[in-house]
Amino acid sequence: MTSTDRTHDPDAETWVDSARAHREFPIQNLPLGVFSVAGEEPRIGCAIGDEIVDLRSLALDGRLPPDVAPLLSAVELNSLFGAPAAQRRALRHALFDLLSNPERQMEVQMHLHSAARCQMHVPARVGDFTDFFAGIHHATNGGRLVNPNSPLPANYKFLPIAYHSRSSSIRVSGQPVRRPCGQRKPPDFTTPVFGPSQRLDYELELGVWIAGENELGSAVSVDDAFGRVAGFCLVNDWSARDLQAWEFQPLGPFLSKSFHTTISPWVVTAEAMIPFLMPHNARTVDDPELLPYLVTTTGGSGDALSIQLEVFLTTAQMRKQGRPPHRLSAGRASDMYWTVAQMIAHHTVNGCNLVPADLLGSGTISSAQPGGAGCLLEISQNGKQPLELPSGESRFYLEDSDEIRLKATASAEGFRSIGFGDCVAIVASGGSA
């Protein structure tokens, strides 16, 4: 599916009052997730305004397509992500019809829950988590701190760099992150020391949920790759920069990344994102020619995403003073050097089999404009330039009780904007040891 349909109509409205002017979850969005109400087990739901539609009970009531209904009895989205794309589209269309037709209100109303009274969960059982390095401005800014004359790795513009990260420590938005302990070697020390990280950082990333499975040994072409996307979320891939600086040679990050990754709870489906695909313009005429497997048959290198990304910080003192969150940065997903399709094509070109609910992280997304840095490593120049806050505080890196909130809005002319929901976590007091 690469064309819009009636579910993207910007004039479409819903009988759900809270969704009519909702900035994130209007009827054009219909993201999927897993929620629970007090005393009950998790179940699959759909966000609409400030409400959640219980899809399991709606299916049991016979209101959803019969071939989709069995997939909604699970407590996670893996089976739905493994189903043919046509079934996911049928679910979206059925929900759109139920929620847009006032005559269907009585049969659906009993399946709505107030989101404020529900607990969200990780939406799927993540098999593998691969973290890419697709943000060229982040790669350049970070590289300059080490090698000002040649900040990018030699292979950066030839292939999407990535590493295999840890899925067991992925947590849903709202759960606190504990400051990790490990080895670090301060510049004036001859041997490393052990203790809590002193340079805890956030990373603004886009997450990609995988649909379907390619057979082991069978690659996914760049033209077919977007068809392997179930949906998107926000990712905060927390980083302990001091642990990372000591451990990353020669095999890359390990303990500095594996301690916690925060994701937003709602999956903004690939179908909902169709209006927000745009030409990919991150490459220039001076860049090297790509190998054929990374280039679409229609020319160019695939589609970018029209998503505005933001990061907000709130300190304990700011909360005490009643101050609003301070925006640290604003950037664009379209600034990624590599597209989602290219990342999937490269991931599978060696025959690697991606399976339903694998999660891909984009890597930190920064923009070239002022105020577009996607992490504190860039903002503080690795602890050399303090970030001044409205409360009179300053930061080089995160302190205990600091809260980081990521937000994203997809927008395009002629379409209703949709949001991703919050991706938020607070740094718990004290280290992990």
Q: Nearest Cα to 269, choosing from 232, 305, 303?
A: 232
The answer on whether 128 is annotated among ligand-binding residues is no
Q: Report H helices in 217-267.
A: 241-247
The answer on whether 103 is annotated among ligand-binding residues is no
Q: What separation in angstroms does the CA of 426 have from each of 20, 295, 407?
A: 31, 41, 15
The answer on whether 244 is annotated among ligand-binding residues is yes
Cβ 228 vs Cβ 211: under 8 Å: yes
The answer on whether 50 is annotated among ligand-binding residues is no
Strand 359-361 versus strand 129-132 pairing type: parallel
Q: Which uninterrupted H or E stretch holds 340?
A: helix 340-348
The answer on whether 257 is annotated among ligand-binding residues is yes
Q: Which residues are the active-site residues?
A: 138
The answer on whether 203 is annotated among ligand-binding residues is yes
What dihedral do alpha carbons 166, 132, 144, 387 form, nearest 10°?
-60
SS3 per residue for 47-60: EECCEEEEHHHHHH
Separation between Cα atoms, residue 36 and residue 118, nearest integer Å: 6
Which contacts of 98-101 are long-range, i.e. CB under 8 A and separated by 24 or more positions? 98/58, 98/63, 99/14, 99/15, 99/16, 99/19, 99/27, 99/30, 99/48, 99/53, 100/12, 100/13, 100/14, 100/15, 100/27, 101/15
The answer on whether 409 is annotated among ligand-binding residues is no
Cβ 356 vs Cβ 231: under 8 Å: no
Tokens matching residue 346: 């490269």
The answer on whether 320 is annotated among ligand-binding residues is no
At residue 96, what are phi and psi to the nearest 5 degrees?
-60, -45
Cβ 58 vs Cβ 69: under 8 Å: no
Helix (H, G, I), strand (E, B) or coil at 224: coil
Cβ 400 vs Cβ 178: under 8 Å: no
The answer on whether 205 is annotated among ligand-binding residues is yes
Q: What is the CA radius of gyration of the chain?
A: 22
Separation between Cα atoms, residue 115 and residue 52, nearest integer Å: 6
Q: Which residue ranges are tagged as binding site? A: 131, 133, 203, 205, 237, 244, 257, 261, 364
Q: Which residue ranges are tagged as binding site for Ca(2+)? A: 131, 203, 205, 237
Q: Which residue ranges are tagged as binding site for substrate? A: 133, 244, 364
Q: Which residue ranges are tagged as binding site for Mg(2+)? A: 237, 257, 261
